[in-house]
Structure 1
């Protein structure tokens, strides 16, 4: 494989971060002279050492540009690491003027630098790989703003997950907002989204609500409609529905039936109201969904089959951002979720992490997997 075509991968687990980093570099082998971008994902156990780890990889590899973040779990080709000190790094060889590291966004007033103007004018079909801090309440606005500033763009990524700090890598170590890397049309890619839930019944319309509290659906008490959809057994014991039944908010512009999954956070049996983890408005569509391993597995395979039809041969590299609520919980042990990717698309360098929310087409999802392939 020549340098210009190669992506190189290393991943390791060790309580000593320098030992893990050295193992990663050993797996990568000789650094291609064309390597100019690194992706770095750490389990949150290494969050406090993030700056030192970044500096180590930059000095040892000679690669100056980096993007990535931390997760309670991370993944690499055929391997998932949970609740253990681990890291995964992928070096990419892409055309020198094909990407820009995204400046750090943490306020609505932030904008892309003026120096990007010429590059944007000469670019099209942009892909932004972004990482966000779940503690920043402005993230939905920042994602929309970034999408507007990048012409003809598509955003993919995830929110950091951690028991402590949420560092991100954007040439430096940053925290508190949105960061990442933007590619232009000279880097061919394919992306896919898989849902972890499946609708139970048809769509309804919210007819009465206040912020995130829904009192009326289809001009009927919201809880009555909810109980009918989930069935008599669950309706008799609503506690059993927790963690299994969710609210789905269909996306108007989607031609593939995508919907945003939101948690049910409260039920008022007396007032026959339900509360969900998002703001809603009258006239908005809603459907109730269930989450289980079978439906997640089936939709994952659907996404992989679709991608397989769209690409020619094995990808050069890939990024996978999956929800913390997927992985072992829905697919079982032994890295089953990422092994599905390898079995369907081949053995290629892949890195990513298990997120506190996933980003696809500038929207925040939950219980999904977002796969990006470099072709």
Structure 2
């Protein structure tokens, strides 16, 4: 009997590790049997750190054919729930017929050797021609995540990278990265997926544009000196002068610069800009410093971020997947910034997971709150902040949805 792509998810808050794993498996095994699991993603809080080896062994025994990947995190996401500040585990089990799952771990020395040789296939197990999708979780303390993601852009053009930075630690060696039987304390663990699989990447950076786009006509290092032939600070003041009072208040608290990934497009919309933090103003020149390297000739637009804009942006990005005409999604992974959740929406529990459920229905979902999120914008992968990065899984034969 042929298998179909199937996902099963469970989230549990039992304090004891053994019973918590039992509860996870009690919900997933009736849907996906032990011999049908191909990939398990597991996210758990550091409360279970002492029993982590036993947890891994139990899951490997329960799904002997499956690749296991995961990490520890500050807070956990599962189905329509976001569990913050207390013990929790979330697991997504996938049966993926016709899909090859290539697991890998990248340490700092391995990354350096691959960069030097420009030979990535032995490390990742795939080449660009196989059209892979990369899922990854990283520790930031002894691994250059930013450079690795940029290297993937060059080594595997067009391959989406989705995932996030483990958030359970405040120092080196404290995060746990799980790959099959191994528990790593540094680097990046990942899987490259190829074959009968389509993944729609939804990246909500939580901002909305204000004003109009400008061409960078003068820049230096991190400074935008002129926009459209005029001092950058003066252009910003022009934009702020046209804002509504509520928008002006948001701009005073959280103002950003969006850089168009493809400045040759005739017009721009959400999803076309990579968001950079506006760091400050050089008072004597009026130059704007951003967390990026602005290039002369590039197109930028100012953005604001607040709870309202973050909610609006997520709903906008998920809109193509809602309604009777939207293709069916089999499973989802949600990587949300640890600056979202109750920190962004106090008094509104389960925001991102709830919006995802509202748009997709009862789709099996797992995820965690990250210290940085991976996802593509304009066809290139970046490490984001304050972002919800979502992987939506379906068989390759199901029609894709353009995400704008």
TM norm. shorter chain > 0.5: yes
Tell me the distance in 1 between the aligned counterparts of 2:324 and 2:276: 30
Superposed, 1:1-375 pairs within 5 Å as 4-30=4-30, 32=33, 33-46=35-48, 50-95=52-97, 98-106=100-108, 107-110=111-114, 111-114=119-122, 120=127, 124-135=130-141, 138-150=144-156, 153-164=159-170, 165-171=174-180, 172-231=182-241, 241=251, 243-252=253-262, 257-308=271-322, 314-331=328-345, 333-361=348-376, 362-375=381-394
Where in structure 2 are there 5+ consecutive unaligned residues? 395-404
Tell me the distance in 2 between the aligned counterparts of 1:311 and 1:93: 25
Number of residue pairs the alignment of both structures matches: 371
Whether the 8 Å CA contact 2:67–2:101 is kept in 1: the answer is no
Whether the 8 Å CA contact 2:341–2:349 is kept in 1: the answer is no
Tell me the distance in 2 between the aligned counterparts of 1:308 and 1:181: 28
Whether the 8 Å CA contact 2:40–2:93 is kept in 1: the answer is yes
Q: 1:243 Cα shift? A: 4.5
Q: 1:3 Cα shift? A: 6.2
Tell me the distance in 2 between the aligned counterparts of 1:201 and 1:184: 42
1:97–1:28 distance in 2 versus 1, CA, 3 Å: closer
- SS of the counterpart of 2:22? helix
Where in structure 1 are there 5+ consecutive unaligned residues? none
1:3–1:294 distance in 2 versus 1, CA, 3 Å: same
1:44-103 deviation line (CA, Å, top 9, x unaligned): 454565444323322344354112223322211110011222110111111375221133
1:132-179 deviation line (CA, Å, top 9, x unaligned): 333457323322322443365222222222343333223222243333
Q: 1:291 Cα shift? A: 0.8
Tell me the distance in 1 between the aligned counterparts of 2:345 and 2:322: 21
Whether the 8 Å CA contact 1:320–1:351 is kept in 2: the answer is yes
- SS of the counterpart of 1:224? helix
Q: Which residue of 1 aligns with 2:398?
A: none
- SS of the counterpart of 1:192? strand
Whether the 8 Å CA contact 2:201–2:375 is kept in 1: the answer is no
When structure 1 is superposed on structure 2, of 191-200 and 133-142 the one drifting more is 133-142
Whether the 8 Å CA contact 1:36–1:96 is kept in 2: the answer is no
Whether the 8 Å CA contact 1:247–1:288 is kept in 2: the answer is yes
- SS of the counterpart of 1:40? strand
Tell me the distance in 2 between the aligned counterparts of 1:23 and 1:363: 36
Tell me the distance in 1 between the aligned counterparts of 2:229 and 2:151: 35
Aligned Cα root-mean-square deviation (Å): 3.4
Q: 1:250 Cα shift? A: 1.8
Tell me the distance in 1 between the aligned counterparts of 2:163 and 2:392: 13
- SS of the counterpart of 1:183? strand
Q: Provide the TM-score with structure 1 as the length reference.
A: 0.84
When structure 1 is superposed on structure 2, of 346-355 and 291-300 the one drifting more is 291-300
Whether the 8 Å CA contact 2:106–2:123 is kept in 1: the answer is no
When structure 1 is superposed on structure 2, of 76-85 and 36-45 the one drifting more is 36-45
Q: Which residue of 1 aligns with 2:402?
A: none
Tell me the distance in 1 between the aligned counterparts of 2:297 and 2:78: 42
Whether the 8 Å CA contact 1:191–1:307 is kept in 2: the answer is no
1:174–1:210 distance in 2 versus 1, CA, 3 Å: farther
1:211–1:54 distance in 2 versus 1, CA, 3 Å: farther
